[in-house]
Amino acid sequence: MSTTDAALENLRIIRSLMEKAHIYRAVSAPAALTGGVLALIAAVCPVWYAVKMQGDAVMGDICFLEIWLIILGIASALNVFLLAKEAKRRNQPFVSAGMRMALRAFLPPLLVGGCVGIGLIVFLHNLTLAALIWALCYGLALLSTASFSPRSLVRLGWAFVITGLLAFFGWAACSDVRLLSSDLAPASLVMGLTFGLLHVVYALAVFFSAQPAEVQP
């Protein structure tokens, strides 16, 4: 394939993605709401971690990581299920050229953020910095698809980045918070504000603004 043909193919894929953006927004909202509600519950109920921690800080860090990975798994599985169901309804392949392009843009920041965050928890036992890295990299991942994603997802990406940066500067400037014996509370606050509250607000905005015509083939 020549350079010109490749460019034309990329433009065709981007145009197709933009045409389907409103459909993805409608389909992804239930997964965002589910993940957001679970994140809020986990953030406001740190007693879950304390039960397993039993005075062991390392065990508490691992429990924090386990719970948030479970929430990620549930939300991701629901999102994949809904996307697959919609693709089947529209008689289209699930892994299309457009999805591959989106994944190429989306995965690098997610992979970096996920690995760095896990490393911070497992090796450095820094829950808050891990939560901040997760929020910022997730926001950057959303923004990486700005050329073909709905504006609502772009706004969500900016909300994650701005909230993450503000939380970082607030955490870095407050020595009393950084010197706590356990940073479970500030880490839970960051996760609740970003992956919890922002996802719930996004999902509700989509539900209230969605029109029946948007999900018709």
- Whole-angstrom distance, CA of residue 70 vs CA of residue 75: 9
* 49, two tokens: 């971690």
Rounded mean pLDDT of 135-157? 90
Concatenated DSSP letters of 77-131? HHHHHHHHHHHHHTT--SS-HHHHHHHHHHHHHHHHHHHHHHHHHHTT--HHHHH
Encoded amino acid at 4, one letter: T
What pLDDT is stored for residue 185 in this prediction? Answer: 83
Of all residues in the chain, the percent with pLDDT exceeding 90 is 47
Grade residue 28 by pLDDT with cuts at 50, 70 and 90.
confident
Grade residue 195 by pLDDT with cuts at 50, 70 and 90.
very high
pLDDT digits (tens, 9 = 90+) for 100-135: 777 888 899 999 999 999 999 999 999 999 999 999
Grade residue 215 by pLDDT with cuts at 50, 70 and 90.
very low
Contact 10, 101 (CB under 8 A): yes
Q: Burial letters for 47-59: b for 16+ Cβ neighbours within 10 Å, e otherwise? A: eebeeebeeeeee
- Whole-angstrom distance, CA of residue 181 vs CA of residue 62: 16
Give Rg (Cα) of the chain. 19
Mean pLDDT for the chain overall: 81
Nearest to 191 by CA among 117, 123, 124, 98: 117
CA distances from 106 to 54, 109, 138, 141, 146 (A): 38, 7, 9, 5, 10
Rounded mean pLDDT of 8-23? 54
What one-character DSSP code corresponds to residue 179? T
Rounded mean pLDDT of 63-70? 91
Of all residues in the chain, the percent with pLDDT exceeding 70 is 74
pLDDT digits (tens, 9 = 90+) for 166-185: 999 999 898 777 666 678 88
What one-character DSSP code corresponds to residue 45? -
Longest Cα–Cα distance in the chain: 63
Contact 105, 144 (CB under 8 A): yes
Instruction: State pTM to two decimals.
Output: 0.84
CB-based contacts of 127, cutoff 8 Å, min separation 6: 61, 64, 120, 121, 183, 184, 186, 187
